Amino acid sequence: MPPDQRPTRATGRAGTLATAEAAGLEVRIEAALEAGRIFEAVDLARTAEGTVGAASGSAAQGLRWLAALVFMQCGDVQAARALADSLEAAPRRPVQGAGGERRARVLEALWQATGNRADLDRALEVRSTRARRGNIADAATAALLAEASGHTALAADIAGSALARHATAREPAALLDLARLALVVGDVPGATRALARLARNLSDRPFERSAVRRALAALATYGITVPPAVLDSFPPPRIVIYCGVRDASLDRQPAVREAIRAELAAVTTEIAYGSATAGADLLFAEAVLQREAELNLVLPCGIQAFRQRLVAPAGGAWLELFDRVIGAAASVTSVADDRQGLDQLVFEFGNRVIDGTARLRAERLDARAYLIAACDPLAESERGGVADFIDHWGDPARLRLVDLDEISADGWSETVGATLALPAGSEGQRIAGLLFADVVGFSRLDDALLPAFWQFMAAVANHMTATVGRPPAMRRSWGDALFVLADDPLSTADYAMALAAAVAAVDARAFGLPTGMAMRIALHAGPVFAGRHPLTDEAMVYGGNVNRAARIEPVARPGRVLASAAFVAWLTAEESAAEAETRMGGGRYRPRYRCTYRGIVELAKRYGAEAVYEVEPWRPETPMPEAELDHRRFAMTLVNDLAEHRRLAAAFSTFLEPWGVSEPALAPFEIAFDELLTNICRYAWTDAGQHAILVTAVVDGQKDNATVTVTIEDDGQPFDPLAISAPSLDDDLESRAMGGLGIHLVRELMDELHYARVDSRNRLTLKKRLATAPPDGQPSAAESVEER
Amino acid sequence: MSRSETASAEPQLVRVQEKLDVVASKAFEAELLAKLGAAGTVLYVDFAGCPYVSSAGLRAVLIAAKTARKSEKKLVLAGMNPLVAEVFKVSGFDRMLTIEPDLDTARAKHG
């Protein structure tokens, strides 16, 4: 069960804060951010909030904006929003210096995340004021923000004067800003020249190249497209996963070493992931280091056990190479500690983690990984072996083989290979997905409320029965704490999501409980020991990975699911294998989960640090930032879920806000979205998978006389809802049929409604004149219906 | 969610206090049918807190009206805002159902 370990919080105190204390917190938060320890930064930011309170000095303001920035970076948009709103209400707000920079970054991030126009306007104000002091980075951002908000003339003005002032800048950061400024004024050749200079500077710096590539791609959110040829001069780093046979005789074969070197060079390997067994793995690792590429090792057990079991039997030369490789690797990760048994299942799990970790890294760097496998294609396959890895890989276009049978003079070394052999499995050990959860605020509940709490949990359980298919292999509880074990990553994640969704869906107030009951949920994965408790005879699991899972849980944000790097890698590997399988069968796989890197958490005692990710149900990539693009254009991607029309209605309402549309005038759109999306969800697709629905809108005309056109597109089977015949309205109650009502309503509520089948997609177009609130304040929604 | 909880106090009244969209209408229908199954000859549905009704909500009302007729009970709707009233009108429901301006009037006439 989770230990009584909670992040420590300083108790708040009223009054002003000594400047020294604010400065101290500021330094600590910045150091934590720098080191990627985002959760420590969040804790410090909360402490700062508690201590600074409503202090209004500029030091306090700067610290609070830093706290908002931290909330934004950890994905807590709500907390950042609340803090930013209170800070924006202050009489004096920072513009220059570090405070102004933080404020601008928070407002920009809030605009990007929520599409809120007011944030964009404020960010533009801060950046353009700062730009007048001559900083090129401020000018570039100000110009982009002006462009995004439709102030084209202002954007050109800012960009023009900054370009004139900094024409001769040559530092890498300034070159990127020069290019951004040139793109704002439409000077593509100028931008290309600056970027070509930058590309030459960065040719041997893969990570900086990748950062520039992402910065350029991000210009799309400001409405600026970068020519693909320009992006191509900043290729993402080449990531390679290697795997090879355990064969200690390979070091006597220069041809094998040479073939491995050649394959790594052929794909210009810059980052590599793999293991370090005596044999091809260690030769790969050695060659990666010789290339001065970044080497990341993932081992199925602790370093010492690995050295003893999978290197030492092969002899001293291999041990010497192993020690050298471990010392020079950029990272060494163990998926289990030395007490776990080393067998084929654990090796297989280790391979999944290597696969998933490399793919996640590739995703973050906008790259794609290659698999290079060194094997004897005729050799027998075992679980966790090379052939197994290749089978699971599923991407033949990104697979390269080093054929040992062809290269090797001596052939496969049976004798030495045998000493490195692994048992198929270990008694009492299994690979598991682990979930720890507890209820935030449970310990503060009054005893009298406990019966109500358990009724609430019964409602949660009831809600979950509808969403969880097969129950997980093991469930245990102690008070509000919950421990769940499942055999694969997808069903572990499914259970976690269903739990979080059920707790969010059941209204605690209806049971007389305080609002905001939420669960902290943590996921981890790895080999664990399984057995029965000698005293209670209950099934139980234990081991280092169980403890590790328990130590992540206290860090999770209420209502969210936090997962360890091992879990997320396992999940990613399984999802990509499923994707490959579906693709081979001619289908298109829809990913189920999205994992966002959140940073590093320091775990208690000997568990060291853990990289953690937030896991969320997958949503399709949106071509543009959701909700508001500008006053006139709107775009949003939905999934085929009946509740999605609510999300659409909320974003659409924000989009129409500047047009002065009253709440009741929005309702006809809400009804139309409800009806049309419900039809699409029910009839467009025959499978149970997740599909995307694209909604765009354009407003034409002026504020008092505007018309909005909404387009809803899906890639489902042809379906024309307008062909459904209207219900006969005069029937009496007894014979009145249920069908056709929804479309009939939409026809009545909208001015125009069209259907077309375009490029194998269904396209529905709705048009309606926008009814604004008339001077007497009477909403006119119903009147506009009657006009027809 | 809030609707069912507040209304459950009174067996002859369903208060609609949210948008009756495709998601919310399931629980609405269940509540209507449950209360029609209980004692009493009239069931009032007060739409005063309801911003709009989609076809899923209409369907729930239709099913309830049919059930009420079979069990010789009366379903009385009240408190609709202009848009909700319009939705009932354009679907022809206003001619089949008993609709009163507000709950007090409904109780005075049908109680």
Strands A539-542 and A593-602: unpaired
Residues of A near B (Cβ–Cβ under 8 Å) read 506-507, 509-510, 642-643, 645-646, 663-664, 667-668, 670-671, 674-675, 678, 727, 729-734, 736, 738, 741-742, 744-745, 748, 779, 781-783, 785-786
What is the H or E stretch that residue A373 is in?
strand A369-375
CA B95 to chain A, closest CA, distance in angstroms equals: 8
Q: Which of A506, A730, A745 sits opposite B87 (nearest CB)?
A: A745
| Number of Cβ atoms within 10 Å of the Cβ of A645 | 28
Beta bridge partners of A617: A593
Residue whose pair of structure tokens reads 């309606």 in the numeric block: A768
CA A741 to chain B, closest CA, distance in angstroms equals: 6
Answer whether B52 sits within 8 Å of A646, measured CB to CB: no
Answer whether A745 sits within 8 Å of B1, measured CB to CB: no
Task: State the sign of the Cα–Cα–Cα–Cα dihedral B51, B57, B61, B64.
Answer: negative
Measured between alpha carbons, how far is residue A32 from residues A318, A333, A587, A603 in Å? 39, 22, 45, 15
User: For residues A495 and A435, is the Cβ–Cβ distance under 8 A?
Assistant: yes
Answer whether B22 sits within 8 Å of A642, measured CB to CB: yes
User: For residues A425 and A382, is the Cβ–Cβ distance under 8 A?
Assistant: no
DSSP output for A465-528: HTT--SPPSEEEEETTEEEEEESSHHHHHHHHHHHHHHHHHS-GGGGTPPS---EEEEEEEEEE
Q: Which of A645, A733, A745 sits opposite B91 (nearest CB)?
A: A745
Q: Which of B22, B86, B97 sits opposite A678 (nearest CB)?
A: B22
- CA nearest A500: which of A366, A616, A399, A630? A616
| Number of Cβ atoms within 10 Å of the Cβ of A604 | 12
**pLDDT on residue A628:** 38
The residue of chain A with its CA nearest to that of B60 is: A738
Residue stretches of chain A with pLDDT short of 70: 1-19, 53-56, 251-252, 377-380, 408-419, 466-467, 469, 604-606, 619-631, 729-739, 772-788
- Structural Rg of chain B based on CA atoms: 12
Answer whether A664 sits within 8 Å of B83, measured CB to CB: yes
- Which of A506, A517, A674, A787 to mutate: most B Cβ within 10 Å? A674
Strands A761-769 and A705-714: antiparallel
Q: What distance in Å separates the CA atoms of residue B23 and residue B28, rounded to the nearest whole number?
A: 10
SS3 of chain B: helix, strand, coil, percent, to 5: 50, 15, 35
Q: What distance in Å separates the CA atoms of residue A530 and residue A543, rounded to the nearest whole number?
A: 9
- Which of A642, A736, A741, A743 to mutate: most B Cβ within 10 Å? A741
Answer whether B52 sits within 8 Å of A667, measured CB to CB: yes
CA A709 to chain B, closest CA, distance in angstroms equals: 21
A427-430, long-range: CB within 8 Å, 24+ apart, which pairs? Answer: A427/A341, A428/A529, A428/A530, A428/A531, A429/A340, A429/A341, A429/A343, A429/A345, A429/A346, A429/A527, A429/A528, A429/A529, A429/A530, A430/A345, A430/A487, A430/A527, A430/A528, A430/A530, A430/A541
Answer whether A741 sits within 8 Å of B22, measured CB to CB: no
What tokens does A627 get? 């909700």
pTM of this structure = 0.65
Answer whether A663 sits within 8 Å of B55, measured CB to CB: no
Q: Could you say which residues from 27 to 46 on chain B have a Cβ atom under 8 Å away from some Cβ of chain A?
A: none
User: For residues A769 and A661, is the Cβ–Cβ distance under 8 A?
Assistant: no
Q: What distance in Å separates the CA atoms of residue B24 and residue B6, rounded to the nearest whole number?
A: 15
Q: Name the packing angle between helices B25-37 and B55-70 (round to 10°).
A: 10
| Number of Cβ atoms within 10 Å of the Cβ of A254 | 9
Q: What distance in Å separates the CA atoms of residue A210 and residue A202, rounded to the nearest whole number?
A: 10
Instruction: Say which DSSP state B93 is in.
Output: G
Q: Please tell me whether residue A602 adopts helix, strand or coil conformation.
A: strand
pLDDT tens per residue, range A716-735: 888 888 887 777 766 666 66
C-alpha triplet A548, A551, A546: angle, nearest 5°: 35
- CA nearest A320: which of A421, A416, A261, A251? A251
Q: Which of A663, A671, A748 sits opposite B54 (nearest CB)?
A: A671
CA B92 to chain A, closest CA, distance in angstroms equals: 5
Answer whether A510 sits within 8 Å of B86, measured CB to CB: no
- CA nearest A65: which of A41, A93, A28, A31? A93
Answer whether A729 sits within 8 Å of B91, measured CB to CB: yes
User: For residues A276 and A303, is the Cβ–Cβ distance under 8 A?
Assistant: no
Strands A429-439 and A481-486: antiparallel
CA A76 to chain B, closest CA, distance in angstroms equals: 26
CA A447 to chain B, closest CA, distance in angstroms equals: 24
Residue whose pair of structure tokens reads 């609340």 in the numeric block: A82
Burial class (CB in 10 A: 0-12, 13-18, 19+), A105: buried
pLDDT tens per residue, range B48-103: 989 999 999 998 998 899 889 888 899 999 999 999 999 998 888 888 899 999 99
What is the H or E stretch that residue A242 is in?
strand A239-244
Distance between alpha carbon A408 and the CA centroid of its chain, in Å? 44
C-alpha triplet A277, A378, A249: angle, nearest 5°: 40
Residues of chain A contacting residue B85, judged by C-beta atoms under 8 Å apart: 782
Q: What distance in Å separates the CA atoms of residue A472 and residue A149, rounded to the nearest whole number?
A: 50
Q: What are phi and psi of A122, to 5 degrees?
A: -65, -45
Beta bridge partners of A402: A374
The amino acid at residue A598 is R
- CA nearest B81: which of B35, B9, B8, B16? B16
Q: What distance in Å separates the CA atoms of residue A399 and residue A575, rounded to the nearest whole number?
A: 18
What tokens does A464 get? 């979950």
SS (H, E, C) A3-65: CCCCCCCCCCCCCCCCHHHHHHHHHHHHHHHHCCCHHHHHHHHHHHHHHHCCCCCHHHHHHHH
What tokens does A298 get? 């993932």
**pLDDT on residue A436:** 95
Q: What distance in Å separates the CA atoms of residue A162 and residue A177, rounded to the nearest whole number?
A: 10
Task: State the sign of the Cα–Cα–Cα–Cα dihedral A653, A659, A663, A665.
Answer: negative
| Number of Cβ atoms within 10 Å of the Cβ of A501 | 16
What is the H or E stretch that residue A239 is in?
strand A239-244
